[in-house]
Structure 1
Amino acid sequence: MNQGLDTRALLRLMAWLSPAFPIGGFAWSGGLERAVADQLVKNATDLEDWLATLMRHGSLWNDAVLFSEAWRHFEDAAALAEIAELGLAMAGSAERFAETASLGSAFVTAASAWPAPMLECLPADLPFPVAVGAIAAGHGVPADKALAAFLHAAVSQAVSAGIRLGCCGQADGVKILAVLEASIAQLSERAPSLTLDDLGGAAVQAEIASLRHETQHSRLFRS
């Protein structure tokens, strides 16, 4: 596959991972809301550390692995079904399962505005990173560029959630994105070599926060 990113592929990538793309990503925090309520994340520094840890050892790391595997197998319906099943099984809580499955389904529906043969290979239920990875590959978007955009969108969404939860301001949020830029780039450059053997994590507090959010009475987010 051509590793260059042409203008049309770039425009599609920008559209798919824009906050305006109709998948409802703004409604989810991935357990961050509970982390703020439990004072695990109190300020911008904490939020930066939280997100960096998720990329190294938590859900964003595993999402990057699933994304990369789906990108490689975008034309193989059987492989995509197995990757999707594994990704859904790895959800650490009911809310995390609902989040990734809901976003995955909504992404496929919205991205169908750009018809492509790979859409026929996608299973009915799939995690968000599997959906984005396979569809990006089907439209000729290089793995590293697609993963970088995916991770940047995920971090941006988390920062936006942090701003709404009051743990940082807009200026601090922009600084977090600037600081994490290098981490996003480094992980994205590993996309061609990431396989299912790399799955795993140790972000225990984040998983607990996601579980505890299920019983949180007052909330802004669905997870």
Structure 2
Amino acid sequence: MPDPRDTRDLESFAMALADELPGQWRSEYHRHAVYDDQFSLSEDVWDMNLVSAAIAEYVLEHDAVLTRDDGARLYVTGRPRQDEEYLVAVMAPKNVPEAFRGVREPDGIAVPDDPFRAADDITAHLLPRYDKALAQVQHNAQSLAPRAAAPSGGADQVVMTWADDGRLVARPASETAASVLRETGFVYDKRQQTYALSGDDTATQGRSVRAAGARLSALGIGVVIRNAPSKPALDTATQAAPTPAKPARTR
């Protein structure tokens, strides 16, 4: 369905948004001559809700991709028929398809035509869901990768569990793993003999998870991420929307 001509200055909005988001981001703007052009980028959009529906049903004419210095990407486009809103979704990392199995999409959100408020919404709601989903995908990819023979003492690993209060609780099996956890922000609980990341600041929590996972993996230490027994699958998605007639390709 064609959308009435979009007169919003998406390019300027995306550049301003990149400046307001935490971390270092760069913005790349694209204008599409024909409908099919919009799918070359949107096929990586990690969404099964508002954003994928808009991509499938409307001629969007233009979009922008914001890329963080660690490789994280955000897809930004105008929200059809809502002149004062934009749609923002994360873009999936380049992993083997099997790594995405069982991981719920960190669906995108609608943000106001105000880069300051939009950055707050993205930081508070979208990026934390992305961090959780990405941690699960990275764990799945690590499990699928060929493994070297385990040392004689058995393979080392760290078990991380999402608690009901939003904390991420880790149980390392060695002092080496415990040292990595301490250095990446985990706090030791002597009574429980565990390490935990507070859920009060989900952006900081996500950065610590990524840093710990990367360092542990480099040391050959496996990471197992689990949900609390009373929880369903990782809560990385917003409420579901009707599946569009021609959804964009997702993971």
Question: How high is the TM-score relative to the length of structure 2?
Answer: 0.27
Higher relative contact order (CA 8 A, sep 6+): 1
Question: How high is the TM-score relative to the length of structure 1?
Answer: 0.29
Q: Which has the higher strand share?
A: 2
Which structure has the bigger radius of gyration? 2
